[in-house]
């Protein structure tokens, strides 16, 4: 900020974004926070889905992760920390379950306390938001849930994350779900969006590359989130769909 260099950051934690906001300067340097697939694009998809509703009461964001994702030890540790955080009501995270539908498949995801809920609250201030995730291997989800119950996570998340191995010859497909409930023509209804990607890291990179032109033309100054400067049409969403 001191030398007026714009930035795009993909940190997943709202506490870091809030700290950067405290450091915002008078020059109005553009600093985009939490600019990835989740968090980031998930809010933009929710805004797109909300166009079909007059009132939004509830938002559900689901993320089916690949256990084969090329996330690296730190990325895996961050997600394990998120999964093992307590929910706002004090209950254990990654325990309560909810079913999302992907085509003819029913996928069971688990409730988590995600930093993006604070961002979603800013967008839909009268709606409650819920975040869910799981990996695409059921035994791995049971293992993570057991380790959380034993309180081995998040304490030993870095040690556990080192066991994650990426196999380049196998799929690392991930799916993002956004489901809004509200009113349309005075009737309760749902509006949904789904995005299946070949890799969550690849999708995050595409979000960043889509934001770069908007940052360079100073479309929005100061510390912002992706939804404040971009729409689905601004980002290369079509390239993110799985092959």
Q: Name the class of domain 36-201.
A: alpha beta
Q: Residue 100's Cα: distance from chain center in Å?
A: 16
Give the residue extent of every domain in the chain: 36-201
Mean pLDDT (whole number) for 148-174: 83
Q: How far apart are CA 171 and CA 148, in angstroms?
A: 27
Give the tens place of pLDDT for each residue, 113-123.
Answer: 999 999 999 99
Whole-model pTM over 0.85: yes
The token pair at 196 is 């299946």
Contact by Cβ (8 Å): 131, 87: no
pLDDT confidence bin for 168, thresholds 50/70/90: confident
Residue 93 has pLDDT above 90, yes or no: yes
User: What per-residue confidence (pLDDT) applies to 72?
Assistant: 64
**pLDDT at 70 > cutoff 80:** no
For residue 189 the two structure tokens come to 């209804």
């Amino acid at each position: 900020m001191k030398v007026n260099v714009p930035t795009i950051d993909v940190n997943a934690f709202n506490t870091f974004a809030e700290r950067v906001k405290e450091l915002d300067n008078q020059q109005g340097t553009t600093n985009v926070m939490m600019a990835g697939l989740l968090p980031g694009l998930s809010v933009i998809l929710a805004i797109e889905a909300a166009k079909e509703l007059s009132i939004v009461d509830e938002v559900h964001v689901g993320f089916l992760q690949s256990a084969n994702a090329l996330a690296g030890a730190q990325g895996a540790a961050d997600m394990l920390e998120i999964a093992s955080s307590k929910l706002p009501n004090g209950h254990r995270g990654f325990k309560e379950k909810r079913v999302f539908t992907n085509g003819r498949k029913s996928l069971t995801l688990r409730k988590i306390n995600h930093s993006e809920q604070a961002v979603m609250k800013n967008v839909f201030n009268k709606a409650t938001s819920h975040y869910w995730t799981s990996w695409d291997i059921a035994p791995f989800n049971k293992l993570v849930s057991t380790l959380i119950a034993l309180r081995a996570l998040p304490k030993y998340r870095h040690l556990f994350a080192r066991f994650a191995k990426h196999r380049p010859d196998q799929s690392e497909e991930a799916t993002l779900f956004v489901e809004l409930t509200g009113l349309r023509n005075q009737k309760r209804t749902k509006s949904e969006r789904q995005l299946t990607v070949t890799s969550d890291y690849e999708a995050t990179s595409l979000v960043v590359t889509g934001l770069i032109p908007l940052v360079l033309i100073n479309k929005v100054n100061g510390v912002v989130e992706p939804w404040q400067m971009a729409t689905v049409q601004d980002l290369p969403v079509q390239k993110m769909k799985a092959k």
